[in-house]
A and B are shown apart, each in its own frame.
Chain A
Amino acid sequence: MKSPAQEMETEMMEAELFVNRTGIMTNPELSAELIRGAKQTPPSPPKNGKQLLLSKAEYLKEGLPIGSPPIIIVDQTVGKEELAADADRMSVLLDKLGERLAFERQGTRLYECFLQKLEQMPSAEVGPAVEDIRHIYEEELEHFRLLQTAISEIGGDATVQTPSADVAGVLSYGILQIVSDPRTTIPQSLQALLNAELADNDGWQMLIELASTLGHSTLVKQCENAFKEEQEHLENVRGWLTDMTLSSALGEDAVLESDDEPKPKKRAVMRSKRVSKGRSSSKKKTKKRRK
């Protein structure tokens, strides 16, 4: 049995566990010594800085790429020059299709992971509902499969990890880390998803322009449909993050009052869009909202 003094000591220790210690003002005396020492001590000779640029330049000169574009299958009836030109064009298209495919596939798993987190959280008045995220998850999966078919139909191998897909994978690594971390909050996960959606939207726009330039009209139409849905994802993720951030700063009631478009109306718009696409609406009319 702990004495009152021991209990107070335990409470204080527990309170100290959740203090951000990264700033210079956390330990003023230690920090003063740190600053004084840095100012008084001569740094490493500045002339060695040029070596850094020279060293990097040497590696760049070697010119070895991250990887080669995917293998292209071209029509054997066309002439050699046209084959070569066509191969280059197709190579760029397949590289970018591969990038989009990898992004959508990872995006599917990202939203799946986020859904698992959302389902465990207590309800809140602002932010996404489980059904909203499930909807995005399903669309990401559709986009992935659309791209899989598109690549296959133009003669590519949809399982190839293209150079752009590889780059996108490296860029996305941090996003996955944030969403899959059980310590990150819903708004923090939304921040990561916002990064993903911003990149995704630009990626689809690029693909539309590329497919259009190369004369793939069917692909353009498919990409435009997907892009419309991605724009919706971006708008929603941005909206949820904004609402939750403001709610956190100002309190939930203040956010609901100050919003030009009240939350229920926004949700009605989303529901009607889903219904018009023939999707089943949620069984629950009152949506669960998450902190």
Chain B
Amino acid sequence: MALDLMKEKGIPLEKQKFDWRDMVRVPTSKLDDDAFTRVRIILMNGIESEVVRFQHACARMNKDLQLALARVRRIEQHQQTMVNWLLPADLSPLETTIGFEQVAIEVTASVAQHEPDPYLAQVYRFGLLEDFDHMYRFSALMDRVTGSDANNILQSYTDILPGRPTALEHRAPEDDLRECYDRKKAQPISKLNAGTIMAGENQTHDYYMTIGPMFADPIARQLYAEIASIEEQHVTQYESIIDPEETWLEKWLMHEATEIYNYYSCLTYETNPRLKSIWQRFADYELGHLHYVLDLFHKFEKRDYAELIPDSLPEPIEYRSHREFVRKVLREEVSFRAQGKQISKKPETPVSRGYREQMNSEGSPSESISAGYRWKPGTELAEETPDIKKLEKRVA
């Protein structure tokens, strides 16, 4: 993307204003808006949520930065509200869950294909197949308990197929940690990718933890318990690929750069004009934050930020169906497992096998809810009508 991060100053912090009416817009339409509009809203809520979380953690460890963090974080909080409240009230928790998994699949697929570090790309592909399986299990739940079709949310962009079985994703903590990139050598895109995917997974984990108890059906409750546990594993995995030697201010800068990158990606692909203006506004806000933090970086770290911030942003995240890529990864890597920090076809460690046996000792909710499940248009209960048969012939 042609945006020059040093030249473009965006909107200064003191001019970033909200009121409640401005913040709470009429939401998007579950039925009419493109699925990727929903994907972008969900991801950007995750990005902002991560930023607020990080800025709180940073404040707890850096007294000198507390006021600056509080000022920026106030704006981030209101940005998060504005973005997240674009989701409509008729989007049920389970429908939102389908949306979350679509984010995980399509955004991770885009990231995995543009990640220059082969090890990190492998890590993304590994996680991708697990989130892909979660989609299948939640779709089965939606079909068999609520009688609804997950494809009403997915709009045919994303497959509903088994991935790496959720029941086999439970690993001991030592097999969830990965090698991190070297903060001095990694390309900027690697850092942006890691920040983006980590934010998405952390948000997903928090969301499932919040809504799990809202389901009355005990199998639904068990399924959310099981998949929330995996999402926590994913957060562990993705945060471990980020170099812990980065300073607090370095991390803060990278967070702001990640936000700019993601808002510009959204702007590039957005089809809804109301949202396009929001993405533009917030990209300008984040540029303002970036320059605010750069001043702090100069003051406290007294070193050149050029090594951290790219001259221009990498190519945006691609908001489109990655069906062919996902199917390819599924064919080639579904049997891959983690052994310590490595991912390969080799068998798993005894400690992970033992942990999994314990967790699944009373049965697996992900297996039981989806036993024999094959997605069909209009749900499992539907009969195949002539128009559907005609559709199948288009790809036969």
Residues of A within 8 A of B (CB): 55, 58-59, 62, 64-68, 102, 105-110, 113, 141, 144-145, 148-149, 152, 157-163, 166-167, 169-170, 173, 176-178, 180-182
Q: Which of B92, B147, B378 has the most CB of A within 10 A?
A: B147
Can you name the residue of chain B whose Cβ is closest to the Cβ of A60?
A: B26
With known contacts A67-B31, A113-B145, A176-B146, A159–B152 Cβ distance under 8 A: yes
Which one of B115-123, B263-271, B382-390 contacts A? B382-390
Residue from B215, B381, B387 within 8 A of A152 (CB atoms) = B387
Q: Given A66-B29, A181-B216, answer yes or no on A109-B382 (Cβ-Cβ < 8 Å).
A: no
- A158–B391 Cα distance when bound, in Å, is 13
Report whether A180 and B381 are in contact in the complex, using a CB–CB cutoff of 8 Å.
Answer: no
B240 / chain A contacts, CB cutoff of 8 Å: none
> How far, in whole Å, are A55 and B21 apart by their CA atoms in the complex?
8
Q: Are B381 and A144 in contact (CB under 8 A)?
A: yes
B26 touching A64, Cβ below 8 Å: yes
Closest 6 A/B residue pairs (Cβ): A67-B31, A181-B216, A109-B147, A180-B217, A106-B147, A152-B385
Cβ distance A117 to chain B, nearest Cβ, rounded Å: 11
> B29 and A148: CB pair below 8 A?
no
B387, A157: Cβ atoms closer than 8 Å: yes
- Is chain B's binding surface mostly helix, strand, loop or mixed? loop
8 Å CB interface, B48-64 against A: none
Is B366 on the interface with A (CB-CB < 8 A)? no
30 intermolecular pairs with C-beta atoms under 8 Å apart: A64-B26, A64-B29, A65-B29, A66-B30, A67-B30, A68-B32, A102-B148, A105-B381, A106-B146, A113-B217, A141-B381, A144-B382, A145-B382, A145-B383, A148-B385, A149-B383, A158-B378, A159-B151, A159-B377, A160-B152, A161-B31, A162-B31, A163-B31, A170-B89, A170-B92, A176-B145, A177-B215, A180-B217, A180-B220, A182-B218
Partner of A159, one of B90, B149, B218, B386: B149
B144 close to chain A: CB less than 8 A: yes
Task: For B143, give the chain A residue with the smallest CB separation.
Answer: A109
Cβ–Cβ contact B144 & A109, under 8 A: yes
Q: Tell whether, in the assembled complex, residue B145 and residue A180 are in contact, meaning their CB atoms are under 8 Å apart.
A: yes
Query: Is B379 on the interface with A (CB-CB < 8 A)?
Result: yes
Cβ-defined contact, B30 with A166, below 8 A? yes
Please indicate the chain A residues that have their CB under 8 angstroms from the CB of B381 in the complex. 105, 108-109, 141, 144-145
B145 touches A148 (CB 8 A): no
Q: Is the CB of B385 within 8 A of A149?
A: yes
Known A-B contacts A59-B26, A173-B92; A152 and B386 likewise in contact (beta carbons under 8 Å) = yes
- Check A66 against B90 for contact (C-beta < 8 Å): yes
In the complex, what residue of chain B is closest to A65 when comparing beta carbons?
B29
Query: Whose C-beta in chain B lies nearest to the C-beta of A63?
Result: B26
A166 CA / B299 CA spacing, docked (Å): 55
**CB-CB < 8 A to B387: which residues of A?**
152, 157
Q: Inside 8 A of B32's CB, which chain A residues have their CB?
A: 65, 67-68
What CA separation (Å) do A262 and B32 show in the bound complex?
53
Q: B215 CB to closest chain A CB, in angstroms?
A: 8
Give 1 or 0 for each of B66-104: 1 = CB within 8 Å of chain A CB.
000000000000000000000011101000000000000
CB of A150, distance to nearest CB on chain B (Å)? 10
* Interchain CA distance A145-B151 in the complex, whole Å: 19
B residues 1-53 near A (Cβ < 8 Å) are 21, 26, 29-32
Supplied contacts A64-B29, A67-B29, A177-B215, 5 more A-B pairs, CB within 8 Å: A68-B29, A105-B147, A106-B146, A166-B31, A180-B145
Indicate if the CB atoms of B382 and A158 lie closer than 8 Å. yes
Q: Give the Cβ gap from B275 to chain A, nearest Cβ, in Å.
A: 13
Q: For residue B146, which residues in chain A have a CB less than 8 angstroms away from its CB?
A: 106, 109, 176
Q: How far is the CA of A55 from the CA of B25 in the complex (A)?
A: 12
Distance, CA A66 to CA B88, complexed state (A): 9
Min CB distance A59 to B, Å, is: 6
Decide if A105 touches B379 in the complex (CB within 8 Å): yes
Alpha-carbon distance A162/B31, docked complex (angstroms): 8
In the complex the two chains form, what is the Cα distance from A203 to B208 in whole Å? 35
User: In the complex, what residue of chain A is closest to B220 when comparing beta carbons?
Assistant: A180
User: Of B149, B216, B382, which one neighbours A180 at CB under 8 angstroms?
Assistant: B216
Give the chain B neighbours of A102 by CB distance below 8 A: 147-148
A158, B152: Cβ atoms closer than 8 Å: no
Q: Are A66's CB and B145's CB within 8 A?
A: no
A185 to B43, CA, bound (A): 41
Take A109-B147, A158-B378, A176-B145 as given contacts and tell me if A148 and B26 are in contact as well, using a CB distance cutoff of 8 Å: no
Chain B residue with Cβ nearest A109: B147
Instruction: Kindly state the separation between the CA atoms of A166 and B32 in the bound complex, as whole angstroms.
Output: 12
Contacts of A161 in B (CB 8 A): 30-31, 149, 152
Contact A158 B385 (CB under 8 A): yes
Chain B, Cβ-Cβ closest to A183: B216
Nearest-CB residue, chain A, relative to B385: A152
Contacts of B379 in A (CB 8 A): 105
Task: Establish whether residues B148 and A159, one from each chain, have CB atoms under 8 Å apart when the complex forms.
Answer: no
CB of B389, distance to nearest CB on chain A (Å) = 11
Whether A166 pairs with B90 at a CB distance below 8 angstroms is yes
Interface string of B126-159 (1 = CB under 8 A from A): 0000000000000000001111110110000000
A170 CA / B146 CA spacing, docked (Å) = 11
A167 to chain B: closest residue by CB = B90
**Cβ contacts under 8 Å, B151 to chain A:** 159
B381 to chain A, nearest CB (A): 6
A147 to chain B, nearest CB (A): 10
Cβ contacts under 8 Å, A144 to chain B: 381-382
User: Complex formed: what's the CA distance from A246 to B92 in Å?
Assistant: 36
Option from B31, B148, B215 in Cβ contact (under 8 Å) with A66: B31
Which residues in B have their C-beta under 8 angstroms from that of A158? Answer: 378, 382, 385
Task: Please pick, from B216, B218, B378, B385, the residue contacting A177 in the complex, using a CB distance under 8 A.
Answer: B216
Chain B residues with Cβ below 8 Å from A170 are 89-90, 92
In the assembly, what is the distance between CA of A68 and CA of B148, in Å?
19
Q: For residue A68, which residues in chain B have a CB less than 8 angstroms away from its CB?
A: 29, 31-32
Contacts of A109 in B (CB 8 A): 144-147, 381
Nearest CB of chain A from residue B155's CB, rounded to whole Å? 11
